[in-house]
């Protein structure tokens, strides 16, 4: 796909099919050892498991019965299978319990089969089994911050929602209930050995899950694109992801059985995971991490509530303080990619995301229990978050407060 033009910072306009002429810095690429994408590829899980181990621990969501047939097929391959269920967002305690279950089973392979919470739990288990200790020994911000140096146990990630892209990222987000915050275990060695992405597994996701995870996926191809750490590699993924997300998110919400829309959104999620693992995020995720530890809200719902307002405040800040910046031209490009119009700009990106959030019935943050009395706390935590460091411009406390108040 060739992207539409971006607006130039000077009076000279680029041609209608030219790419932005940003300086190209050095970059590297980190991703899963193998990515297998396509409708029906989940059927290959038993043979892939058999090639990596004999005693898999399968990490699942709250309803293991949904995958009874697949688990039976694993057993039919002569594999000694155990499972562990994750209910809700993953916590340090849940990760420790899953590690204990894996050790009891003498697991030599971990499989994560579920949404982002399941995939992150499995990723954490695979790393802790080989490195020892507890999550707090390695967690950023609240933990000892020790380096994870030993390779993880072989891990296969099989997403059943299209949102986090956790099947190709190097971190596992865990909530510490004691500290009231969500932070990451992070290491290059935590990237899954195999990412098995089958859009058919997402067909049963309910509309509200499709909406929130879909906007999370869209955020994860938008924020790396405008981040100062983007590269030609991540740009290509983000452009393609923005186009596919724009054309298919509402379709998947309206008709969850639409296989083309589901395939598009599975790709958006995959591309977002690849992009964020090799670039940076921004204000949406800068807020979503701390808020996830403060209120009982799914990560995708937080991102969905914040996205339109984060774009609006970022664009205004760039126009006021950095009107010739490459990031502002990139926001103009986002407007064209989302709307499909050659004359669109950053304001059209804002309008598109606001209208999409309304059409997907995205709830404000107050519906999840974020009261006015906790706004300052959230702003302070967000300003210190690692994701905020990728934002294309440093936002003031007043601007951060505005994003949160509008999302609330």
CA distances from 194 to 119, 159, 393 (A): 12, 11, 35
Q: What is the pLDDT of residue 390?
A: 95
Could you give the number of structural domains in the chain? 2
- Give the whole-angstrom CA distance, residue 320 versus residue 314: 10
Q: What digits encode the pLDDT tens for the residues 95-151?
A: 999 999 999 999 999 999 999 999 999 999 999 999 999 999 998 778 888 899 999
Tell me the DSSP string of 272-335. HHHHHHHS---HHHHHHHHHHHHSS--HHHHHHHHHHHHHHHHHHHHHHH-TT-HHHHHHHHHH
pLDDT at 319: 96
Beta bridge partners of 58: 83, 111
Domain boundary among the residues 146, 173, 202 is at 202
Considering the domain architecture, whether residues 89 and 186 belong to the same structural domain is answered as yes
Last residue of a domain, one of 184, 202, 220: 202
Residues of the chain with pLDDT under 70: 1-24
29, part of any domain? no
pLDDT of residue 296: 87
- 257 and 169 co-located in one domain: no
Whether 92 and 235 map to the same domain: the answer is no
Are both 241 and 315 inside the same structural domain? yes
Residue 56 phi, psi dihedral angles, 5° rounding: -75, 140
**pLDDT value, residue 23:** 64
Do 402 and 263 have their domain in common? yes
Same domain, 241 and 262: yes
**Residues 187 and 226 occupy one common structural domain:** no
Kindly give, in sequence order, each residue whose CB lies less than 8 Å from that of residue 270, ignoring residues fewer than 6 positions away: 35, 37, 165, 167, 168, 195, 197
- The last residue of one of the domains, among 173, 202, 231, is 202
CATH number at residue 379: 1.20.1090.10
What pLDDT sits at residue 1?
38
What is the pLDDT, as a whole number, of residue 19? Answer: 54
Shared-domain flag, residues 180 and 285: no
Do 237 and 195 lie in one domain? The reply is no
Please check whether residues 73 and 140 belong to one and the same domain.
yes
Predicted pLDDT of residue 65? 78
Residues 216 and 182 in one domain: no
- Region of 40 please: left (phi>0), alpha (psi -120 to 50) or beta: left
The answer to whether residue 75 sits within a structural domain is yes
**Which residues form the domain of 167?**
34-202
In a shared domain, residues 196 and 238: no
pLDDT score recorded for residue 189 = 93
Cβ count near 131 (within 10 Å): 21
**Is the residue at 8 inside a domain?**
no
pLDDT at position 386 is 86
DSSP type of residue 91: B
Residue 24 falls inside a structural domain: no
């Amino acid at each position: 796909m060739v992207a539409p033009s971006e607006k130039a910072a000077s009076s000279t306009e680029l041609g209608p099919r030219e790419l932005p002429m940003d300086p190209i810095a050095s970059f590297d690429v980190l991703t899963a050892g193998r990515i297998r994408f396509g409708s029906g590829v989940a059927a290959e899980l038993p043979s892939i498991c058999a090639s990596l181990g004999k005693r898999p621990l399968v990490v699942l969501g709250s309803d293991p019965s949904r995958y009874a047939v697949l688990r039976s097929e694993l057993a039919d391959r002569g594999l000694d299978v155990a499972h562990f269920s994750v209910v809700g967002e993953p916590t340090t305690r849940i990760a420790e319990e899953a590690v204990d279950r894996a050790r009891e089973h003498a697991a030599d392979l971990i499989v994560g089969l579920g949404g982002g919470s399941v995939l992150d739990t499995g990723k954490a288990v695979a790393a802790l089994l080989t490195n020892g200790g507890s999550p707090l020994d390695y967690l950023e911000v609240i933990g000892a911050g020790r380096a994870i140096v030993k390779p993880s146990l072989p891990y296969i990630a099989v997403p059943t929602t299209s949102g986090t892209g956790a099947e190709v990222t190097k971190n596992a987000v865990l909530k510490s209930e004691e500290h009231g915050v969500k932070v990451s275990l992070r290491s290059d060695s935590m990237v899954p050995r195999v990412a098995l992405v089958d859009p058919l597994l997402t067909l049963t996701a309910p509309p509200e899950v499709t909406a929130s995870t879909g906007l999370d996926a869209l955020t994860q191809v938008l924020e790396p694109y405008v981040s100062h750490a983007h590269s030609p590699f991540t740009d290509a993924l983000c452009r393609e992801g923005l186009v596919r997300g724009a054309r298919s998110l509402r379709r998947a919400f309206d008709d969850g059985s639409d296989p083309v829309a589901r395939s598009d959104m599975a790709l958006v999620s995959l591309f977002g995971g690849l992009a964020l693992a090799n670039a940076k995020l921004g204000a949406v995720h800068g807020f979503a991490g701390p808020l996830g530890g403060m209120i009982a809200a799914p990560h995708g719902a937080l991102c969905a509530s914040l996205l339109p307002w984060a774009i609006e405040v970022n664009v205004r800040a760039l126009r006021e303080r950095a009107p010739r910046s490459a990031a502002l031209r990139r926001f103009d490009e986002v407007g064209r990619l989302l709307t499909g119009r050659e004359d669109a700009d950053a304001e059209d990106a804002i309008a598109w995301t606001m209208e999409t959030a309304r059409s997907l019935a995205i709830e404000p943050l107050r519906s999840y229990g974020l009261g006015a009395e906790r706004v300052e706390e959230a702003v302070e935590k967000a300003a210190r978050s690692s994701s905020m460091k990728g934002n294309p411009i440093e936002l003031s406390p007043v601007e951060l407060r505005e994003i949160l108040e509008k999302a609330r």
